[in-house]
Amino acid sequence: MADPSPLATARAQLATAIEILGYDDGMHAMLATPRREMHVAVPLRRDDGHVEIRHGYRVQHNISRGPGKGGLRYAANVDLDEVRALAMWMTWKCAVVELPYGGAKGGVALDPSRYSPGELERITRRYTSEIMPMIGPERDIMAPDVGTNEQTMAWVMDTYSVNRGYTIPAVTTGKPLSVGGSLGRATATSRGVVHMAAATLADAGVDLREVSAAVQGFGKVGSHLARFLAEAGTRVVAVSDEHGGVMAPDGLDVPAVLAHVQHTGTVVGFPGGEPIDNTALLGLDVDLLVPAAVEGVLDEETAANVKARWVVEAANGPTTTAGDRVLAERGVVVVPDILANAGGVVVSYFEWVQANEAYWWTEPEIEERLAQRMHRSYATVAQYARAEGVSLRDAALVIGVRRVAEAHRTRGLYP
């Protein structure tokens, strides 16, 4: 049987929250249905002169609490349903951490590793031009995601600004500092995950210095995350990327792994550990497991092999509905993605505020505000989970869905 799609998982999670909250079918339909979505053809002239068509998407799932907010990903398998799921998760994520945003997401179906920098710039600018009616600092604000980076956001910002006739830094977040980016943005998701892990362990009377960890995914989030965990005293015993992984029971030298990746482009072949594949990493005998790669890696089969006491979801949608059920039955505490990895959108919000005010904060100010926001959000979710006897995922979903539903009811239905 095929694993459920990210959209099926997102819809199942919403249905659980709706049942707990007792909302009627009309509210369920409103919360399940994207407000706006666009599918565009994106023609690209390759460096050799021939033209190909890629497909691009932008979905605004909900904008009742504010403008849409969400990343732009470049990946070969991106499709509209995946973008719909990611946009829905962004809606709940922004609500859980009390940001004045709705949820949105974008994607272009391409493998960025197969395109030159010039080709990526041309496709980014054309995609931006095609979806321009949907985006803007008061409408929908993009950020980097899988396969994109701060340079991508600079191209989006410049394309939008040139078409509007003046510079508009607040149309994207995650930009380079030289064009209105924020200090701390590049590592914000990773720092937020560490704050969530520390808070969750503290509830059990455990410190990060006392645990071992495995991190699946060593990209923008996972690499910084492994470094921060190691700096906090955690024994990081395994890391992996799309090519494979490496493990050392006594702990990896994470700075050395980072240097190896800088030199080779992958963790594979790191001389300070033994090879391990991504599936085996999920079943390692560690205290803390951090899936930081892609959706759906913890399904019914892989979840049954998890030995970790805590799973902190740095990726979006890494656990399927069946995987969640298996982990719950085995007593594994799961800190859900919409809470655990919200540090990125929190500091994106800080960047957007700074761009609108044309006044930039110091890095210590940003770090302090991020820590406060993440710990406060965790405390709210954990308190609800304890009071109602539900999982952290269900608690986070209920809080997020309820806040969005309250905004719907307060605004009313037009006409």
Q: Give the strand order in the sheet containing 102-109.
A: 36-45, 51-62, 102-109, 68-75, 140-144
* Bond from prior residue into 34 cis (ω within 30 degrees of 0): no
Phi, psi of 162 (to 5 degrees): -60, -40
Distance CA 370, CA 365 (A): 9
Q: Does 93 qualify as catalytic in the annotation?
A: no
Q: CB neighbours of 12 closer than 8 A, spacing ≥ 6?
A: 4, 321
Distance CA 380, CA 400 (A): 11
Distance CA 180, CA 154 (A): 9
Type of residue numbered 164: R
Q: Are 304 and 325 in contact (CB under 8 A)?
A: no
Type of residue numbered 332: V
Residue 371's alpha-carbon distances to 191, 198, 343, 378, in angstroms, are 8, 11, 9, 11
Q: CB neighbours of 147 closer than 8 A, spacing ≥ 6?
A: 73, 74, 75, 111, 112
What is the three-class DSSP state of 60? strand
Dihedral sign, CA of 48, 111, 343, 97?
positive
Catalytic residue among 69, 105, 175, 220: 105
Q: Within 10 Å of residue 152's Cβ, how many Cβ atoms?
A: 26
Radius of gyration of the chain (CA): 20
Distance CA 278, CA 305 (A): 13
Catalytic residues: 105
